[in-house]
Amino acid sequence: MSITFVNHNWVDSIITRLSRDVSVLTSNKSIHPISGEETLTDNTSTTVSMVFYKSDQNWTFDKEGMVEGGDAFAVTSSATDLDKDDKVTDGSETFRVFDKIAYYSDNNNEIKLYTYYNLFLVK
């Protein structure tokens, strides 16, 4: 028996079924011309639907040594695109986007299926 997925709709349906709404603040970064100090400014809040889950394991081991993992992870559909340093608020906890990995359906990176985000808790 074989299973066939048509038009990659299965990815959006999984995200739709497992996602919940969280608040997202996009951030702008400005760099001081003399000192080089970075300043982050938050924009208005929007609601984004994403698969959001916390991680109990903050460190993983790789061939090169210990690699910091993250406090939470998120997966969004192809329509959502967050950037580094954007804030994600779930309940009373706020996280910052550290990095993202976009997954595509082909080798030419033409059809984006979903994006995976690594998040760190803001204290």
pTM of this prediction exceeds 0.85:
no
**Whether residue 118 has pLDDT greater than 60:** yes
For tokens 């919940």, the residue is 20
Q: Within a domain: residue 85? A: yes
Q: Within a domain: residue 57? A: yes
**Whether residue 10 has pLDDT greater than 80:** no
**pLDDT tens profile 32-83:** 888 888 888 788 888 888 888 876 655 556 555 555 677 888 888 877 788 8
User: What SS3 state is found at 13?
Assistant: helix
Q: Within a domain: residue 53? A: yes
Q: Within a domain: residue 1? A: no
Q: Within a domain: residue 15? A: yes
Contact between 69 and 118 under an 8 Å Cβ cutoff? The reply is: yes
Q: Within a domain: residue 2? A: no
Average pLDDT, integer, range 106-115:
81
Domain count, the chain: 1
Q: Which amino acid is at 25?
A: L
Average pLDDT, integer, range 3-8:
52
CATH label of the domain that carries residue 107: 2.40.10
Structure confidence at residue 112 (pLDDT): 82
Q: Within a domain: residue 3? A: no
Strands 87-90 vs 20-31: parallel, antiparallel or unpaired = antiparallel
Residue-number span of the structural domain to which 29 is assigned: 9-121
Q: How confident is the model at residue 122 (pLDDT cuts 50, 70, 90)?
A: confident
Q: Within a domain: residue 4? A: no
Residue ranges with strand state E in 20-107? 20-31, 38-54, 59-62, 65-68, 72-77, 87-90, 93-104
Structure confidence at residue 65 (pLDDT): 55
d(CA 38, CA 96): 15
